[in-house]
Amino acid sequence: MERITWDQFFMAQSHLLALRSTCTRLAVGATIVREKRIIAGGYNGSISGDEHCIEQGCYVVDNHCVRTVHAETNALLQCAKYGTPANGADLYVTHFPCLPCTKTIIQAGIKNVYYAKDYKNNPYAMELFAKAGVNVAHIPFDEAKIDFLQDDKLQLTLDMLEKLRTFGASPEELAPLEEKVDKLFGQLLKV
């Protein structure tokens, strides 16, 4: 197994945090890092003690769920709660920050924002980051890097394709399935 970079490591942490999200519309995770050490993490979800979207559904106002606190804000609030300065730190987040989170990130003194996926990237957010001197970088993340069963899943898929061949599936019928396997796993091992 290849060793992942620091950026991929912290982005993987953000993706793991996103698995704790209680939002049914978009699961987001954020990790705050200083000198290659994780100082805080957050995911989008309801405030402590309130109903969660996964239990009650989203509370949507103006096409935005107002029930949740965003991952970036939760991570910054964790810093505040435990007295850990965020000033000068880096933020790794699964999706491009929304405009309100952008303002919070800038006010907290975050110097670098690394995000894995574009999501309604607001041009004004980019303008604010630039004015504040915050470096923003897209760090593509391969979620398969944290799927420790990927090899088993690939083998099962290839076994099923082979079984379909034995049952008489034509190359034309198998071609779209093989393309999907290739997209999912990045490689199609011919059996």
- Give the closest residue to 157 by CA, choosing from 120, 123, 185, 186: 185
- Give the closest residue to 102 by CA, choosing from 85, 83, 127: 127
CB-based contacts of 189, cutoff 8 Å, min separation 6: 154, 158
| Catalytic position from the list 2, 51, 55, 72 | 72
Q: In tens digits, what is the pLDDT along the chain, a chain of 191 residues?
A: 578 899 999 999 999 999 999 999 999 999 999 999 999 999 999 999 999 999 999 899 998 889 999 999 999 999 999 999 999 999 999 999 999 999 999 999 999 999 999 999 999 999 999 999 999 999 999 877 777 787 888 889 999 999 999 999 999 999 999 998 888 887 544 44
Catalytic-residue membership of 72: yes
